[in-house]
Structure 1
Amino acid sequence: MYQIIHKRKIFYFLSVALLTVGLAFLVIFGLRFGIDFTGGSTMEFEVSADTTQTQVESELTSLGYSNPEIRVLGNNTYRITVRELSQDQHVAIIAAFQTIDPVSQELSYSSIGPTIGSELKSKSLFATILVFSFIVLYISWTFRKASWGPVRPWVWGVAALLALFHDLLIVLGVFAILGKFFQVNIDTLFITALSTVLGFSVHDTIVVFDRIRERIKIHGGKESFEDTVNVSVVETLIRSLATSLTTVLVLVALLLFGGESIRYFVLALIVGMISGTYSSIYIASPLLVSWYTYKTKKF
């Protein structure tokens, strides 16, 4: 039988290495917050095929917008993100596009003030903390009768919580790297993706934990706790991988063909799904064994 739990230190080392890189980028460079959190204005313009990004950037710079964020969305469409605009400034940018390309037209315009952006940031943080809290309480209650020596109900909850932190930090680290090298911003869709990832990850972890609990009922005392966990993880391995693979394949299709507006939302889901599958198999369950061996002085 494949020995996952016995090799847990290898998986711990891999996770620590990935988290170290991600945390380094998070601490040094941070995340690039979009206008949902910082406030600002976004416009989309349709232009002729002859219009270039260099022309657009030059015209905006001449209006006093240094380093404007310009994205090419395809079909000769540009998305411009700058600081919050007044009505006169908005009109001036439209006129600038008319100067570059007389047939250009504005497709959409949205503006968010810094107060609303700050409020969204606070609410997003509160929602994430609330999700973590309820998950720990739920798992502790669900596995209240699954104790094995020092592995009390709260240990199951903490193990799941650490796996969730692992997944959260992996996604944040990836987007810190993307923000540094590719100027990728995070918005409210990114928070939605994080919540979805946390839900998927804890669901996968609970499936594995439930199999461990069932095996404890049947074989408790007949085999070591380490063997019980290892057999349970291996028995759910194919199910976990198959579920994740089919989900990721659909997400990859959306990433390739779903359009610019949801690209990074889908990318966050893909990274989170992969990390969530990994953590439920190679992090959460091994942590139970590490706690057990530590408390029984076998670690």
Structure 2
Amino acid sequence: MKFLNPTHWDIIGKLKWLIVSFIAVICFGVLVIGFRWVTTGSKIDTAYFIFEKAIPGQVTEIAKTVYQFEEIQKLSNFSIEVPAPDANYKEQVRLNIKADKLTNDEVKKIGERLSTEYGKLAKDPAIETTSLSGQPFNWGLDFTGGTILEMTFKNPFVDNTGKAMADEEVIGKVRTAFAKNGVSLTVVQVQRLAMEAEQGKDIANSILIRTQESSDTKLKSVITDLISTFGEEDVANRKIDTIGPVVGQELKRSAVLALVIALAVIFIYIAFRFQPRAGVAAIACLIHDLALTLGVLSLAWVEINSAAVAALLALISYDVQDTVVVMDRVRENTKLYLGKMPYDKLINMSITQTFMRSFNTSFTTMIGILVILFLGGKTILDFSLIFLFGLTAGTWSSIYIAAPLLVVWKNFENRVSTNQPRKTYQLSTPEGIKVAVKETQPQINKPAIKDNLAGKPPAKKGPPKKKSNKRR
């Protein structure tokens, strides 16, 4: 069956649609990342209160006291900060309150209540609105800095009647504990018991918390409040991971630099080993693969951590492997058939000859990735997902994008050299076959006809006269 035999496929005949798909995938990735960048931005209002005298007590005690104010309870997503003394303020006289939105009336009422509790304000409170830039990706703790706290309790989350709490109620209690201690909170997740979840029971007894705070003193106070709220903790299963913000930013820069260096080295190798145009085509394919993979990660809001960067680097090295195989076949066929057949037909033959090799390699690898995805556990789940999407994109680009880009390059060169548009014919049409035969025919140089300067009619050519042997 010719349809199932790749050697009979006319891939270059669909060149226009291949280029359209290539551009569409890159646009998809860019638009999704840009959409996330714009929509995840937010604004936050901060009210600054400065007292004439120092505020007595520890930071956590002050935060707990202020949290009890009725005016504070009405705010949305608020946090309480007590800045430490510095060069400008020798004593602890400042208190900041952050919320999604603060009005002048709300700040005035809060200021009156604070004056009653801690004494007269040195000046009227000020409100500052800060615009927080959006995030194109869900950066993990490795790149943002902060703390991830996982706590498991011996008893499930139930109310006074013994009924299981809703996730929203558990999250609300966790946010209350953080707000009372003046600690900002980023993400809260309620986790189920593994064995009960498999049996269909909705029993939760664990929470996963992510915060930008890295102070052990403040976190201990929060942990104490959580234990008093949810009961005795299984301390043996507690997990705390802390990374400083400076280290996180350095890791982010190192990850981006690693990707850029990998792409540069790949371009240099392929350009040196084959041709510069082959290096450009390979890098274009890798950009295509990364755009699709990063777009899906941004759309699904998958956490980007060190494992994700490792998956992207592995993906780049694996995808370029198939591209090198196709380029190597193009180079071999160019030596054998260049000048004997059109360039687009030569590229099509190279793709079809390596198609089954590329497909079988990617298919067997995909089977292994699927096994890891479903049986590997949560630890390498993100790695498996990233590699699966990237492998699918890489298989497509190495077969249908890399070599066809060489045809686009060649057509552009011909158009520039001849200043005439050059049509890429489909190999399966009679017109294409006719042009291919015409281009391969050798040109015969006809001898030039000399002008007759004497004006005499040209002499008639005929057979040479025979010499007569007759004697006189």
- In the aligned structure 1, how far is the partner of 2:214 from the partner of 2:169? 21
- In the aligned structure 2, how far is the partner of 1:194 from the partner of 1:71? 29
- In the aligned structure 1, how far is the partner of 2:145 from the partner of 2:10? 51
- In the aligned structure 2, how far is the partner of 1:262 from the partner of 1:223? 49
Quick check: which one's helix share is greater?
Answer: 1
Amino acid corresponding to residue 218 of structure 2 in structure 1 = Q
- State the match for 2:21 in structure 1: 14
- In the aligned structure 1, how far is the partner of 2:191 from the partner of 2:345? 54
- CA gap of 1:46–1:290, structure 2 versus 1, over 3 A, is same
Alignment of 1:265-276 (within 5 A): 265-276=383-394
Alignment of 1:185-264 (within 5 A): 185-264=303-382
- State the match for 1:149 in structure 2: none
TM-aligned CA deviation for residue 67 of structure 1: 5.0
Alignment of 1:59-78 (within 5 A): 59-62=173-176, 63-64=178-179, 65-70=184-189, 72=191, 75=194, 77-78=206-207
TM-score by structure 2 length? 0.58
- State the match for 2:283 in structure 1: 161
SS at match of 1:221: coil
Amino acid corresponding to residue 156 of structure 1 in structure 2 = A
The alignment status of 1:87 with 2:201, answered yes or no, reads no
Q: What's the CA shift string for 1:173-220, capped at 9, x where partnerless?
A: 1111011xxxx2211111111111110111110011111111112222
The 8 Å contact of residues 233 and 281 in structure 1, kept in 2 or not, is answered as yes
Higher mean Cα deviation, 20-29 or 159-168? 20-29
SS at match of 2:156: coil
The 8 Å contact of residues 150 and 238 in structure 2, kept in 1 or not, is answered as yes
TM-aligned CA deviation for residue 68 of structure 1: 2.1
Amino acid corresponding to residue 291 of structure 2 in structure 1 = L
Q: Alignment identity in percent?
A: 30
TM-aligned CA deviation for residue 265 of structure 1: 1.4
TM-aligned CA deviation for residue 37 of structure 1: 0.8
Number of equivalenced pairs:
286
The 8 Å contact of residues 29 and 296 in structure 2, kept in 1 or not, is answered as yes
TM-aligned CA deviation for residue 253 of structure 1: 1.6
The 8 Å contact of residues 48 and 103 in structure 1, kept in 2 or not, is answered as yes
Out of 399, 403, 406, the residue aligned to residue 281 of structure 1 is 399
- In the aligned structure 2, how far is the partner of 1:8 from the partner of 1:71? 50
Out of 233, 238, 253, the residue aligned to residue 122 of structure 1 is 253
Higher mean Cα deviation, 108-117 or 89-98? 89-98
- CA gap of 1:71–1:195, structure 2 versus 1, over 3 A, is farther
- State the match for 2:294 in structure 1: 172
Amino acid corresponding to residue 122 of structure 1 in structure 2 = R
The 8 Å contact of residues 5 and 286 in structure 1, kept in 2 or not, is answered as yes
- CA gap of 1:93–1:248, structure 2 versus 1, over 3 A, is farther
TM-score by structure 1 length? 0.89
Q: What's the CA shift string for 1:12-32, capped at 9, x where partnerless?
A: 222322322221121121112
SS at match of 2:315: helix
- State the match for 1:147 in structure 2: none
TM-aligned CA deviation for residue 135 of structure 1: 0.6
Out of 128, 142, 147, the residue aligned to residue 273 of structure 2 is 142
TM-aligned CA deviation for residue 294 of structure 1: 1.3
- CA gap of 1:9–1:78, structure 2 versus 1, over 3 A, is farther
- In the aligned structure 2, how far is the partner of 1:95 from the partner of 1:251? 42
- In the aligned structure 2, how far is the partner of 1:54 from the partner of 1:173? 30
Q: What's the CA shift string for 1:160-181, capped at 9, x where partnerless?
A: 11111111111111111011xx
The 8 Å contact of residues 159 and 284 in structure 1, kept in 2 or not, is answered as yes
SS at match of 1:98: helix
- CA gap of 1:168–1:95, structure 2 versus 1, over 3 A, is same
- CA gap of 1:48–1:239, structure 2 versus 1, over 3 A, is farther
Q: What's the CA shift string for 1:230-274, capped at 9, x where partnerless?
A: 111111111111111111111112111222222111101111111
The 8 Å contact of residues 174 and 226 in structure 2, kept in 1 or not, is answered as no
The 8 Å contact of residues 37 and 117 in structure 1, kept in 2 or not, is answered as yes
- In the aligned structure 2, how far is the partner of 1:172 from the partner of 1:272? 9
By relative contact order (CA 8 Å, sep 6+), the higher-ranking structure is 1
Amino acid corresponding to residue 42 of structure 1 in structure 2 = I
TM-aligned CA deviation for residue 73 of structure 1: 7.2
Structure of higher CA gyration radius: 2
The 8 Å contact of residues 84 and 112 in structure 1, kept in 2 or not, is answered as no
Higher mean Cα deviation, 68-77 or 206-215? 68-77
The alignment status of 1:39 with 2:145, answered yes or no, reads yes
Amino acid corresponding to residue 382 of structure 2 in structure 1 = Y
- State the match for 1:148 in structure 2: none
- In the aligned structure 2, how far is the partner of 1:253 from the partner of 1:69? 30
The Cα RMSD (Å) is: 1.9
The 8 Å contact of residues 146 and 242 in structure 2, kept in 1 or not, is answered as yes
SS at match of 2:242: strand
- State the match for 1:102 in structure 2: 232
Query: Gaps (5+ residues) in structure 1?
Result: 144-152
- State the match for 2:69 in structure 1: none
- CA gap of 1:81–1:73, structure 2 versus 1, over 3 A, is farther
